[in-house]
Structure 1
Amino acid sequence: MTATIGNSILVTGADLAPQALALLEGHDIVYAGKTPTEDDLVALCRAHAPVAIIVRYGKVGAAVMDAAPSLKVISKHGSGTDTIDRTAAQARGIEVVAAVGANAAAVAEQALALLLACAKSVVALDARMHAGHWDKATHKSLELGGRTIGLVGLGAIGLRFARMADALGMRVLGYDPYAKNLPAYVQPTDLATLWAESDAVSLHCPLTDDNRGLLNARTLAQCKRGVIIVNTARGGLIDEDALLAAVRSGQVAMAGLDSFAVEPMAPGHPFQGERNIVLSPHIGGVTGDAYVNMGVGAARNLLAVLSRQAAPT
């Protein structure tokens, strides 16, 4: 059934938090499912003429926008907008908004979990224990207190993680050319210094054309030997072949990864089975609280745009 033009909101997912749906009462909500393709989204846009799209999964590019002539706003269910063609949206007068900070606590906690899993060999020791081994006499973990962590990106997530690292007694280096009024426990620095002095590096920046492959063979070689790499941001920030080679050579002692160049990860990916890489399926921002926060943020953002555009000039 075709919804009323100007009243439909397309969600590129299978659900939305009840609190967000309450805010959107009066609109027809159309769900695209858990793994929508571009063809799926184009067909739904043609059938329902949405005035807004809430982006959870999949990508929204020019073809989707052109199939939705009533589209006024694309609202990200989260903070990263790299799955939205912002240039195409701007050319069509479509606003792009994001629920910045809505999942900051969740992602920062996931980064901490991956850092600790790497430093304390949590996954490997768990497997050994379940296999009947007791490695107390032979295993030594890494103590993080007094060591240096370098954070690339000092937005809501990066700063929250910085506070956690400081609480562990770590020295916190940070690189973010846009960050201002940093707390005293974050020492701003350039990337060259961050690579050279950090015992662990954690990525918290958005993916752009300028920083794609930021961690590559050259920059990984500039890091301390035995560095820990944590990525809860975007997989495209890392050259995965270079990281794998660095892990296998010992240049990178451990890597904790929650995002990947291609998602979902295909069976047979070279990271699978690599004992010094801890993996999670891009769930850093997926908690009950973050689900509500992101949904509500996305709903409020799109409503604000629609209200502003509808207001008389």
Structure 2
Amino acid sequence: MRIVTKDVILVTGADLAPQALALLTDFDVVYAGTGNECTEDALEALCRQHEPVAIIVRYGKVSARVIGASPKLRVISKHGTGIDNIDSNFAKSHGIVVRAATGANAAAVAEHTWALILACAKNVVQLDGRMRDGHWDKATHKSLELKGRTLGLVGLGAIGRRVADVGIALGMRVVAFDPYAASVPESIERRALNEVIAESDVLSLHCPLTADNANMINAQSLASMRDGALVVNTARGGLIDEAALAEALKSGKLRAAGLDSFQVEPFVAGGHAFTGLHNAILSPHIGGVTSDAYVGMGTAAARNILDELAVTA
């Protein structure tokens, strides 16, 4: 009797939302394991063993080695929006489609962006620590009021626009740089990148990481910013020169920074300049990690695979 086997979808993670799995019942789903287990060697070995037709990318780097290890591979689908951990050029050159779950975690990331902005502006973390140490700083503390301030956005996609909406509701002026945006709402002023950086009281990053914009926030651009400004990054760590940002925080050039992504992840606290700075508020790249976004990203990633496989069938 002939054994009929299903095509394999490899997930570079340990799980997938049940709603996403329900869409993939015609496939065998193989998990690579937790984030630490998704090494390049491990992913390459799994591709050679199972020859997946698709990969859902949650953790790890899907390099040329990994992509080339499966002769059946036809689509790589990101469980999220940023595809900088996928060798898209190599995939494209081999006829393999790369898709992202665009907008699936936009609400979650936008909300976390505002959590960081408000924590920075209102000194939430520092005041909590002071209270727990027995201090009552009402007579000496002054927080930053956002009404009338300028919110600068680098990137005006689904996340950036949600962040802009909240800023406008708070009475902020909003300026933005996005060379790829076909249109910009009338309530947002479109500016060149250097103008957005220089004019911002709050600068928030919402763009993908590319070779052209790596370290766009560096010593020179930070020096052009308004004294006492805030920098918030819920996009990619590679957009910021971390040593330069740490120096700007240490010197008082910047009031504070809220950071959800880093040059090297997982972030290692020992010896890193940010861990010794009370005005650097850190979170472990969880802006898009909510129960709703988990389902949204999983189902969007699954649908992207089904759509592409149907086209190429």
CA distance in 2, matches of 1:4, 1:176: 49
Q: Map 1:41-190 onto structure 2 (within 5 A).
A: 41-190=43-192
2:237 pairs with one of 231, 235, 238: 235
Higher mean alpha-carbon deviation, 206-215 vs 264-273, is at 264-273
**Contact kept? 1:226, 1:251, Cα under 8 Å:** yes
SS in 2 for 1:9: strand
1:252 pairs with one of 254, 261, 284: 254
Task: Name the aligned partner's letter for residue 94 of structure 2.
Answer: R
Tell me the equivalent position of 2:279. Answer: 276
Residues 108-146 of structure 1 show CA distances to partners (whole Å, capped at 9, x for unaligned) of 001100000000000000111111211111101000000
Task: Name the aligned partner's letter for residue 212 of structure 2.
Answer: D
Task: Name the aligned partner's letter for residue 79 of structure 1.
Answer: T
CA distance in 2, matches of 1:215, 1:128: 31
SS in 2 for 1:159: helix
| 1:91 Cα deviation from its structure 2 partner | 1.3
Tell me the equivalent position of 1:13. Answer: 13
Residues 159-211 of structure 1 show CA distances to partners (whole Å, capped at 9, x for unaligned) of 01100111111100000011123222111011222122111100000000000
Task: Name the aligned partner's letter for residue 78 of structure 2.
Answer: K
In structure 1, runs of 5+ residues without a counterpart are none
CA distance in 2, matches of 1:283, 1:44: 27
SS in 2 for 1:296: helix
SS in 1 for 2:275: coil
Tell me the equivalent position of 2:312. Answer: 309
CA distance in 1, matches of 2:113, 2:72: 39
CA distance in 2, matches of 1:226, 1:165: 18
Change (3 A) 1:177 1:227: same
CA distance in 2, matches of 1:46, 1:291: 28
| 1:288 Cα deviation from its structure 2 partner | 0.4
Change (3 A) 1:142 1:220: same
CA distance in 2, matches of 1:181, 1:234: 24
**Contact kept? 1:4, 1:48, Cα under 8 Å:** no
Tell me the equivalent position of 1:34. Answer: 34
RMSD after superposition: 1.2
Query: TM-score of the superposition, structure 2-length normalised?
Result: 0.96
In structure 2, runs of 5+ residues without a counterpart are none
Residues 227-263 of structure 1 show CA distances to partners (whole Å, capped at 9, x for unaligned) of 1000000000000001001111111110000000000
Task: Name the aligned partner's letter for residue 93 of structure 2.
Answer: A
SS in 2 for 1:74: strand
1:297 pairs with one of 285, 293, 300: 300
Query: TM-score of the superposition, structure 1-length normalised?
Result: 0.96
Task: Name the aligned partner's letter for residue 257 of structure 1.
Answer: L
Q: Extract structure 1 runs of 4+ deviating beyond 6 A.
A: 3-6
Q: Identity of paired residues, percent?
A: 63
| 1:273 Cα deviation from its structure 2 partner | 2.8
Task: Name the aligned partner's letter for residue 13 of structure 1.
Answer: G
